[in-house]
């Protein structure tokens, strides 16, 4: 197996051409709903950490007492303790359901109130809220903006198993006489505020999981060749699956407007989200690979050697079992059409969470009208050179360290011209290779 070690991170410093839409999707990742939720659970600690460190705004409300009105305020609101039990997050179509029934939360605060009419009583003290168990549900909306997935909630509601409130201080006669009424009003306001806090944290979690912050990835040996990693649409949620759509385009910094692949080339293809029952599929269209060959041929000239000149960028077509590569070369002023068969290989750098797909080539056929050309020798030379440069001039993409992508198995789709890398997401959250 050729050794392909990717040592670059995305730059995010290059201005990529034009905004993209879902019709630009030449690469996407699909997981089953069950597998994606198992994957998301591995980020629960990040989610709870975000909640713990959130700045909680003051809680203020008016309490109408009939003949008078009280303005009640909680300030300096802080989470003082949190015990996280089993958290389950379920996404289905455009709905979400978060269960955290074994979670305990303790919040400390300072409270004050002021009476709005005579005798204008003021009072203050400290408060402690003990909250057990939470269940949240609602509707979400997901879209892609400037290549980044943005998720927000259309509506959300939360229920809590129990909320206990302890108010310390409060020496005024007015406070002592209405403390039970105050408790009921506080409980309602706290539930609303907590729902808002958890919503913000959940949005942060989802956006963090599905956005690696990587819009463009220069290849390590060919720093001017850019793999476009922008998302082209929001999270696609369907019956039993979750899909993330990406560009898959490749560009060269010498001419960032030179697009081999266009929406017109892609709009006849179908997205097959639920074709397999495997936990995960990484799907790459043949046009995306042809885009790669085009860039490396036109701007890097990696395919030509002293023995022959490649006169057209190689193109790939998927059969049911292999990738069939076709290229035209010039030998002694004669054109020879070459065909190679390629088997996909994957190598990666686990720490950087980027890697590449390339092909291990074998000779298949050569056609020439020049009888003086030794096509067998020419085929051997081309196979040797293609395998030599393939691991550097590769199809680069980013992925998670929770899955060893080298264990995924290639499946060719000759009808829709996709290659699918399919496999399973292991149980647990062990970070492979780190």
Tens digit of each residue's pLDDT (9 = 90 or more) over 252-263 = 988 988 888 777
Residue 295 confidence class, pLDDT cut points 50, 70, 90: very high
Structure confidence by residue, pLDDT tens digits, 70-88: 888 999 988 888 887 777 7
CB 112 within 8 A of CB 124: yes
User: For 261-282, b where at least 16 C-beta lie within 10 A, e where not — what string?
Assistant: beeebbeebeebbebbebbbbb
CB 113 within 8 A of CB 72: yes
Average pLDDT over residues 343-355: 72
pLDDT band at 429 (very low <50, low <70, confident <90, very high): low
Q: What is the distance between the alpha carbons of residues 148 and 207, in angstroms, rounded to a whole number?
A: 9
State the DSSP H helix or E strand holding residue 40, giving kind and residue range, or none if neither: helix 33-41
Which residue's structure tokens are 């040996």?
A: 221
Q: Specify the fold of 22-33+212-423.
A: Bactericidal permeability-increasing protein; domain 2 (3.15.20)
**Contacting residues for 316 by C-beta, under 8 A, at least 6 apart:** 286, 289, 290, 293, 323, 324, 325, 326, 342
Where does the chain hold its CATH 3.15.10.10 domain(s)?
39-209
How far, in Å, CA of 265 to CA of 20, rounded?
A: 14
**Residue of 360, 319, 361, 310 whose CA lies nearest to 337:** 310
Give the tens place of pLDDT for each residue, 157-193: 778 888 888 999 888 888 888 788 778 777 777 777 7
Half-sphere exposure of 142 (CA within 13 A, CB side): 26
Angstrom distance (rounded) from CA 346 to CA 234: 27
Mean of pLDDT values over 235-255: 86
Looking at per-residue pLDDT, the higher value among 49 and 343 belongs to: 343
| Of the candidates 418, 96, 98, 107, the residue with the CA atom closest to the CA atom of residue 282 | 418
Q: Are 113 and 122 in contact (CB under 8 A)?
A: yes
Assigned CATH for 39-209? 3.15.10.10
pLDDT, mean of residues 87-100: 75
Give the residue, 33 or 390, on which the prediction is more confident.
390
> Residue 97, SS3?
strand
Give the three-class secondary structure for 146. Answer: coil
Residue intervals in the chain for CATH 3.15.20.10: 22-33+212-423
pTM for the full model?
A: 0.76
């Amino acid at each position: 197996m050729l050794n392909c070690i990717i040592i670059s991170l995305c730059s995010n410093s290059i201005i990529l051409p034009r905004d993209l839409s879902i019709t630009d999707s030449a690469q996407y990742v699909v997981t089953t709903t069950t597998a994606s939720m198992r994957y998301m659970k591995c980020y629960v600690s990040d989610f709870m950490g975000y909640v713990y460190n959130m700045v909680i705004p003051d809680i203020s409300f008016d309490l109408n007492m009939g003949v008078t009105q009280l303005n009640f305020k909680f300030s300096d609101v802080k989470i003082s303790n949190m015990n996280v039990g089993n958290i389950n997050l379920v996404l289905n179509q455009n709905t979400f359901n978060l269960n955290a029934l074994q979670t305990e939360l303790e919040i400390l605060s300072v409270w004050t109130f002021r009476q709005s009419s005579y005798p204008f009583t003021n009072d203050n003290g400290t408060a402690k809220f003990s909250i057990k168990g939470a269940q949240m549900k609602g509707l979400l909306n997901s879209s892609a903006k400037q290549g980044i997935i943005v998720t927000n909630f259309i509506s959300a509601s939360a229920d809590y198993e129990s909320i206990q409130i302890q108010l310390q201080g409060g020496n005024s006669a007015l406070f002592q006489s209405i403390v039970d009424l105050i408790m009921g009003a506080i409980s309602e306001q706290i539930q609303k505020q907590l729902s808002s806090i958890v919503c913000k944290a959940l949005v942060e979690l989802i956006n963090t999981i599905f956005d690696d912050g990587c819009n463009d990835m220069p290849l390590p040996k060919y720093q001017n060749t850019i793999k476009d990693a922008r998302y082209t649409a929001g999270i696609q949620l369907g019956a039993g699956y979750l899909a993330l759509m990406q560009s898959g385009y490749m560009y060269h910094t010498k001419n960032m407007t030179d697009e081999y692949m266009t929406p017109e080339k892609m709009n006849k293809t179908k997205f097959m989200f639920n074709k397999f029952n495997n936990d995960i599929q990484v799907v790459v269209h043949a046009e995306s690979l042809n885009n790669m060959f085009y860039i490396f041929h036109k701007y890097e000239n990696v395919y030509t050697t002293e023995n022959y000149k490649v006169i057209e960028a190689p193109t790939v077509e998927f059969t049911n079992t292999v990738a069939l590569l076709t290229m035209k070369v010039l030998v002694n002023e004669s054109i020879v059409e070459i065909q190679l068969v390629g088997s996909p290989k994957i190598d990666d750098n686990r720490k950087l969470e980027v890697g590449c797909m390339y092909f291990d080539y074998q000779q298949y056929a050569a056609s020439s009208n020049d009888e003086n050309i030794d096509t067998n020798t020419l085929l051997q030379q081309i196979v040797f050179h293609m395998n030599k440069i393939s691991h550097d001039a590769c199809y680069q993409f980013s992925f998670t360290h929770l899955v060893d992508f080298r264990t995924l198995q290639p499946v060719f789709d000759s009808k829709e011209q996709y290659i699918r890398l399919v496999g399973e997401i292991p149980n647990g959250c062990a970070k492979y290779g780190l």
